[in-house]
Amino acid sequence: MPESPQTPPALETRNVNKWFGANHANRDVSLAVPKGTIHGVVGENGAGKSTIMSIVYGYLPADSGAILVDGRPVAVRSPRDALAAGIGMVHQHFMLVDPFTVLENVLLGAEGGVTLAAGMARARAELARLARDYGLEVDLDRPVGDLPVGAQQRVEILKALYRGAEILILDEPTGVLTPQEADHLFRILRALREQGKTIVIITHKLREIMELTDNVTVMRRGQVVANLATAGTSREELAELMVGRKVLLRVEKAPARPGAPVLEAAGLCVRDGAGVERVKGVGLTVRAGEIVGIAGVSGNGQSELLEALAGMRPLAGGSVRLRGEELADRPARFTARGLRALGVGHVPEDRQRVGLVTGFEAQECAILGHQGDPAFNGRFLMDRSALFDRCAAEMDAYDIRPRDPRLPAANFSGGNQQKIVLAREIERNPDLLLVGQPTRGVDIGAIEFIHRRLVALRDQGKAILLVSVELDEIRALSDRILVMFDGRLVGELGPEEADERRLGLMMAGVVDAA
Amino acid sequence: MAQEAAQGVAQDVVGRGFGRPGDVPGWVGYALLPLLNLLAALVLSGLVILVIGENPLAVLTLLVTEAVGYPEAVGYTLYYTTGYIFTGLAVAIAFHCGLFNIGGEGQAYLGGLGAGLVGLALTGWPWPVAALAAVALSGLFGAVWAAIPGWLQAKRGSHIVITTIMFNFIAASVMTYLLVDVLIRPGSQSPETREFDPGVWLPTMDRALGWFGVAIPASPLNLSFLWALACCALFYLFLWRTRWGYEIRTVGRNERAAVYAGISPSRNIILAMAISGALAGFVGVNEIMGVQHRILLNFTGGVGFVGIAVALMGRNHPVGIVLAALLFGVLAQGGGQVSFEYPTVNRELVMVIQGLVILFAGALENLFKPQVEALFRRRRGGPQAEGRA
């Protein structure tokens, strides 16, 4: 509960500056988080929100400025210092040892003594209390690797609390959660607030900010552009503050006019690298001129389905027809190379590890998958100027910045990297575009652009199969929504009947909801 | 963990329209840091020489003089350099495909067998024919010897480091068997073949330049040096200017992206290893056709292993590899002479110096990087950047 104004804020930064070379990543960042509140920090990628929190948690040294905890300046030079000051952090990517049990993970680095037994007993009692107080139930004796993602995140929270954190920083905590898991997390965070803990949550999901936080700090280009009470603002206002201009949060599109089937799959089975069947008999049809969305919690076989359809994984069974032509029994054509030649474009889910070679120049990435195209090749040598021109033209058309085809792909922001991939795949004018997580980690401004491009491609009469874990995205773009759970399609909905609750339940495998 | 987060943040911040703000000029990485590493290695070597009671400066002066001080010495240095360029390129191309080829030694040994068989077979032929045939057969032998571990890696997942090391031993045993039992000159006691017909010897540089009226002192430096330089140019063109090189680099940098792009990792692994082995095999042309004129035991003398250091120090780029190969050529030639002049600075101690250079240039290549980069950031960052941001 917010306390009287005389109480110093639990966490305060004063005029923090941070340079990365010539880049002013944090410019006089001042924000105050009152004790016992949930505070949101929003901003686009590169706005500096992760930088300021890394400074608070001791990962990065500030070039100038001060950090105050409960009104007292603290010198935070390492995460150890931060923990000593009562600051804990839950990372986007969990820092857990998978084969260790929950108890062992919590104890790691805080064993307290030569033998483990005493520390174990103490930790077990303490954790039982924490679990009871805050609804943080997890089975202490199970290996962390066996737990669902939501439970792993609770282990991270337990770790921080066990170390005496009074201030908890969460970096993009809901990115990997189902809506139900996210709700559970929010209940926990509210319970923590009731007990007087202070919570800072970094996110780009404005809905969560509105639902959860008491106050919100908006950052843009390294600066704080607004400190607001959540109750007094709106999603639209926050989006505008983040981007610096008005943003359309919905996608404008006309009703689809589906044509002939482009992709028809039946009884598809796909195994992962370990031989486990991840897609168990999926059948679907995508017609020209429509976007079919596959919703589902990540890890339910969507990734394997998409990769199999793109020729990156062998089929373990089933049939695939492209424009009526059976492909599954023609292994020579059912490859990544062969499918591309047949007019299948693929925007992979993980652009950094699959869609791009981050060490390559942008212009080299712009031909990935098309390196054999005669347009870029002479008899022996590649035509570097054709390559450069092609990439420069795509950069203009897609507003990719910086507009330097020779810059390594790693030096572009997430949104611009994604645009490099999209430009490459869309500009080849595919009949069928397979798209995975098109806007994961992408700025709001770029999301708007990417969504418009996909709808425009649909309106040209192309077929699009979209896989996304972002329900908002699925609902905004899809003309039909398929829900995938445990390797099977468990239902189909129209976008108007797919509300959050219904989709969420189906994604959790409760099929009756359909 | 902290580093990872910091990197993530840096990644996050870079690319907001500033190009590469955090970076320091390219020449720091390519020139300044290697020089600093070299300096550190020399200082440490000097201390070692001091400890055994010699004057480090005098030893160093002698080393440099004996390596580049007069024309004959330069010839010897460049002769050593030739072999190091071949093996350096060999390690580098494998590295660009994400493979660590430790087998340069064995591939060079087998390449020598290929070159030697040409020398034995082509008695009476003109030397250009023999040279071309030797290049082809030494390359082929080396390529096959490297492609087998490549195939095992690509198709069976046997780790390339392990298999290439084992293939070094197999190569040594095969060569010993062949030289002792099969190819040995009849009636000879030492395990080596007969000498080739002098007509098929690869001309030394002094002889070749003599045709044009240029007189230089005699040395083992031969025409394969020019082939090594040509290989550097071809290496560059192949790797960065052809689609085959593009595919190899894609596999090396990101195998998943290669699969996505329809590039077969296993095909490219085998291809890269074959090219790597061929490059190492060319050592045989230099040694067997250019210098020894017969096949003998252990003529490679560690050139395959020095190639690893050369590639590391040369950042796997042909220009860097030439420079690094020169450095190791200087150390090999100058170091050899030093151990003649100073009985206390024996061959082993020269190897210690070489080892220190390898240690600093290869294993500790980033030793001074944070400090140097911080220095540049402080100079370039701060006030004047404010206007730009």
Option in B16, B254, B256 nearest A413 (CB): B16
- Residues of B whose CB is below 8 A from A420: none
- Label residue B102 by pLDDT band (50, 70, 90): very high
Separation in Å, CA B268 to CA A331, B91, B93, B246, B264: 20, 15, 11, 10, 6
Could you tell me which chain A residue has the CA closest to the CA of B375? A21
Option in A50, A354, A382 nearest B12 (CB): A50
φ, ψ of residue B208 in degrees (nearest 5): -60, -45
Q: Is the ipTM of this complex over 0.85?
A: no
All structural domains of chain A with their residue ranges: 11-243, 250-343+467-514
SS3 A483: strand
Q: Is A424 on the interface with B (CB under 8 A)?
A: no
SS3 B213: coil
Which of B1, B16, B317 to probe the A interface (max A CBs under 10 A)?
B16
* B21 within some domain: no
In the predicted structure, residue B19 carries a pLDDT above the cut 70:
no
* C-beta of residue A259 within 8 angstroms of C-beta of residue A443: no
Q: How far apart are CA A49 and CA A69, in angstroms?
A: 19
SS3 A442: coil
Q: Which DSSP category does A462 fall into?
A: -
Q: Is A280 on the interface with B (CB under 8 A)?
A: no
* C-beta of residue B236 within 8 angstroms of C-beta of residue B318: yes
* B265 within some domain: yes
Burial of B47 (0-12, 13-18, 19+ CB in 10 A): exposed
Could you tell me which chain B residue has the CA closest to the CA of A93? B5
Distance from CA of A144 to the nearest CA of B (A): 19
* Dihedral sign computed on CA atoms, order B151, B152, B154, B160: negative
Whether residue A19 and residue B381 make contact (CB cut-off 8 A), yes or no, is: yes
Q: Is B9 on the interface with A (CB under 8 A)?
A: yes
Q: How far apart are CA B257 and CA A501, in angstroms?
A: 36
Tell me which H or E stretch contains A48: none
Bridge partners (DSSP) listed for residue A435: A347, A466
Fold of A11-243: Rossmann fold (3.40.50)
pLDDT in tens, chain A (514 residues): 444 556 889 999 999 998 876 678 899 999 999 999 999 998 877 788 888 988 999 888 888 999 999 999 998 888 889 989 999 999 877 888 889 999 888 888 777 777 778 788 888 888 888 888 887 888 888 898 888 778 888 898 888 888 889 999 998 888 777 777 888 899 999 999 998 999 999 987 788 889 999 999 999 888 999 999 999 998 888 888 888 877 666 778 888 889 999 999 999 999 987 788 899 999 999 999 999 999 987 778 898 999 999 999 989 999 999 998 898 888 888 999 999 999 999 999 888 889 999 999 999 999 999 998 888 988 889 999 999 999 999 999 998 888 899 999 988 877 889 999 999 999 999 999 999 999 887 777 788 899 999 999 999 999 999 998 888 889 889 999 999 988 999 989 888 888 877 887 888 777 654 4
Q: How far apart are CA B193 and CA B118, in angstroms?
A: 12
Option in B250, B254, B381 nearest A22 (CB): B381
Q: Is A91 on the interface with B (CB under 8 A)?
A: yes
Q: Is A347 on the interface with B (CB under 8 A)?
A: no
Q: Is A405 on the interface with B (CB under 8 A)?
A: no
- Residues of A whose CB is below 8 A from B381: 19, 21-22
Residue in B267, B350, B283, B232 with CA at minimum distance from that of residue B103 = B283
3-state helix, strand, coil in chain A (%, to 5): 35, 25, 40
Burial of A469 (0-12, 13-18, 19+ CB in 10 A): buried
Separation in Å, CA B29 to CA A19, B248, B325: 21, 24, 18
Q: How far apart are CA B315 and CA B313, in angstroms?
A: 5
Residue in B94, B88, B84 with CA at minimum distance from that of residue B276 = B94
Q: Is B173 on the interface with A (CB under 8 A)?
A: no
- Label residue B379 by pLDDT band (50, 70, 90): low
Bridge partners (DSSP) listed for residue A31: A13
Whether residue B22 and residue A45 make contact (CB cut-off 8 A), yes or no, is: no
How many folded domains does chain B comprise? 1
Fold of A250-343+467-514: Rossmann fold (3.40.50)
Residue in B323, B303, B307 with CA at minimum distance from that of residue B34 = B323
- Residues of B whose CB is below 8 A from A310: 260
Q: Is B266 on the interface with A (CB under 8 A)?
A: no
**Bond before A402 cis per omega within 30 degrees:** yes
Whether residue B260 and residue A51 make contact (CB cut-off 8 A), yes or no, is: no
Could you tell me which chain B residue has the CA closest to the CA of A310? B260
Distance from CA of A83 to the nearest CA of B (A): 14
Residue in A388, A360, A347 with CA at minimum distance from that of residue B248 = A360
* C-beta of residue A85 within 8 angstroms of C-beta of residue A59: no
* B234 within some domain: yes
Helices (H), chain B: 2-13, 26-27, 33-51, 56-68, 71-96, 104-121, 127-156, 160-177, 205-211, 224-241, 243-253, 255-260, 265-281, 283-284, 303-313, 318-341, 347-358, 369-380, 383-386
Q: How far apart are CA B316 and CA B322, in angstroms?
A: 10
The confidence score (pLDDT) of residue B8 equals 39
Whether residue B385 and residue A21 make contact (CB cut-off 8 A), yes or no, is: yes
Option in A45, A78, A336 nearest B261 (CB): A336
φ, ψ of residue A217 in degrees (nearest 5): -110, 130
Whether residue B13 and residue A22 make contact (CB cut-off 8 A), yes or no, is: no
Q: Is A346 on the interface with B (CB under 8 A)?
A: yes
* C-beta of residue A442 within 8 angstroms of C-beta of residue A414: yes
Distance from CA of A447 to the nearest CA of B (A): 16
Give the count of Cβ contacts less than 8 A between chain A and B: 149
* C-beta of residue A454 within 8 angstroms of C-beta of residue A291: yes
Separation in Å, CA A162 to CA A54, A65, A106, B139: 21, 30, 7, 63
Q: Which DSSP category does B31 fall into?
A: I
* B385 within some domain: no
In the predicted structure, residue B38 carries a pLDDT above the cut 90:
no
